[in-house]
């Protein structure tokens, strides 16, 4: 039986690492596309040649054209420029809007039934734009950010409390930026509310480190932004789709009234399966968290207004 097919646009740090992670597991064939000649071909060949060692029989090819992506089950868009020190994700807006628009048009024409995962930043605005350009139904377009922000939050909490990351239950919602909303009310460690375990001042510091998590990495790397945790987060979404796992994960999804937000992509818990967004899950928020989520949605709205001011 033919394996399912995942196409990744952008063979840079995030795209190539995602390709490698999926290839290593061997459950899907991978197509890696980039505008730079030779880069997707060279990286794909290198990954392919690791097959006998890691035990993967997946196929992986690199290309500068989109035809090889035909009939993909899942498309991941990572094309664009990444942040340099001192840049916010929003500084990337108009450059990445152009890139994401162009690649979405190309890739979706070859795979009209695929599920589209957008990763390029600023995430919430880029997924909004990809949705518009693809003309795909809202269920088949989603953005990766909440899993990453949540993973950062959980990593810091696990470190603070010296417990396994697997014992922590948490969600970071909202836009992928300074206004993201770690939901303290539903954060538990082994079922115990986090506010019983960490004093509120220290918790606030951990929340702030989570908000600055991307910038902390950019500060170290200097020439680019994070890609190991982002690619792991993408793969969790891809697997929930390909294996119809129906995991409930925080992702950017198009809201039409849920959480009192309308017509915008914002990070919320969703049930993710073979049809994409199968349900938007409503969790209880405190009134300050609800306010923070609304505030986060307003910042996403501001970016979409900049993108479409000449429409």
Tokens of 63: 């290309």
Q: Which stretch binds ligand APR (CB under 6 A): 49-57, 79-87, 132-140, 233-241?
A: 79-87
What's the token pair of residue 29?
């064939």
Stretch that binds ligand APR, among 118-126, 127-135, 261-269, 298-306 (CB under 6 A): 118-126
The distance of closest approach from Cβ of residue 105 to ligand APR in the complex, given in angstroms and rounded to an integer, is: 11
At residue 251's C-alpha, the angle toward residues 164 and 217, to 5°, is 60
For 233-253, give one letter per residue: b (16+ CB within 10 A) or e.
Answer: bbbbbbbbbbeebebbbbbbb
Binding of residue 80 to ligand APR (CB under 6 A): yes
Cβ–Cβ < 8 Å for 6, 22:
yes
Say whether residue 35 binds ligand APR (CB under 6 A).
Answer: yes
The smaller minimum CB distance to ligand APR, of residues 26 and 224, is found at: 224
Helices 200-211, 146-161: inter-axial angle, 10-degree rounding: 140
For ligand APR, the binding residues in 218-237 under the rule CB under 6 A are 224-225, 227, 230
How many Å apart are CA 190 and CA 193, to the nearest integer?
A: 9
Min dist. Cβ of residue 213 to ligand APR (A): 12
For helices 123-134 and 287-307, the axis angle rounded to 10 degrees is 60
92, 127, 306 from 100: Cα distances, Å: 11, 9, 16
Q: Which of residues 98-117 bind ligand APR (CB under 6 A)?
A: 99, 102-103
Applying CB under 6 A, what is the total number of residues that bind ligand APR?
28
Interacting residue with ligand APR among 34, 73, 124, 149 (CB under 6 A) = 34
Q: Does 82 bind ligand APR (CB under 6 A)?
A: yes
Rounded to the nearest whole angstrom, what is the least distance from the CB of residue 139 to ligand APR in the complex? 23
Is residue 176 annotated as a catalytic residue, yes or no?
Answer: yes
Are the C-beta atoms of 26 and 55 separated by less than 8 Å? Answer: yes
Angle between helices 93-110 and 287-307 (to 10 degrees): 80
Which residue among 10, 62, 175, 269 contacts ligand APR (CB under 6 A)? Answer: 10
Instruction: Select which of 43, 152, 176, 301 is catalytic.
Output: 176
- Which segment (10-18, 132-140, 246-254, 286-294) binds ligand APR by CB under 6 A? 10-18
The answer to whether residue 189 forms part of the interface with ligand APR (CB under 6 A) is: no
d(CA 48, CA 299): 42
Residues carrying an active site annotation = 176
Binding site for ligand APR (CB under 6 A): 9-15, 34-36, 39, 78-80, 82-83, 92, 96, 99, 102-103, 119-121, 224-225, 227, 230
């Amino acid at each position: 039986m033919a394996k399912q097919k995942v196409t990744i646009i952008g063979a840079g740090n995030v795209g190539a690492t995602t390709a490698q992670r999926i290839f290593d597991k061997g459950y899907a064939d991978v197509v890696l596309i980039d505008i730079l000649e030779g880069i997707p071909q060279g990286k794909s060949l290198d990954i392919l040649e690791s097959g006998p060692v890691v035990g993967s029989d997946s196929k992986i090819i690199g290309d500068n054209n989109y035809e090889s992506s035909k009939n993909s089950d899942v498309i991941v868009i990572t094309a664009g420029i990444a942040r340099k020190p001192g840049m916010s994700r929003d500084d990337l807006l108009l450059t990445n809007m152009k890139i994401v628009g162009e690649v979405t048009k190309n890739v979706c024409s070859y795979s009209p039934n695929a599920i589209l995962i957008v990763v390029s930043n600023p995430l919430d605005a880029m997924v909004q734009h990809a949705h518009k350009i693809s003309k795909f139904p809202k269920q088949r377009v989603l953005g990766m950010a909440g899993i990453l922000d949540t993973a950062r939050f959980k990593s810091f909490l696990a470190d603070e409390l010296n417990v396994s990351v697997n014992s922590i239950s948490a969600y970071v919602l909202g836009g992928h930026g300074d206004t993201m909303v770690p939901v303290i009310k539903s954060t538990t460690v082994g079922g115990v509310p986090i506010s019983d375990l960490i004093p509120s001042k220290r918790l606030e510091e951990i929340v702030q480190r989570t908000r600055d998590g991307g910038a902390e990495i950019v500060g170290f790397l200097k020439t680019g932004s994070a890609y190991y945790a982002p690619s792991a987060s993408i793969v969790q979404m891809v697997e929930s789709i390909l294996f119809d796992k129906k995991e409930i994960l925080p992702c950017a999804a198009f809201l039409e009234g849920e959480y009192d937000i309308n017509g915008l992509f914002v990070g919320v818990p969703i049930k993710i399966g073979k049809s994409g967004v199968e349900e938007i899950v409503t969790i209880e928020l405190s009134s300050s968290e609800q306010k923070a989520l609304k505030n986060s949605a307003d910042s996403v709205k501001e970016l979409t207004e900049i993108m479409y001011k000449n429409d």
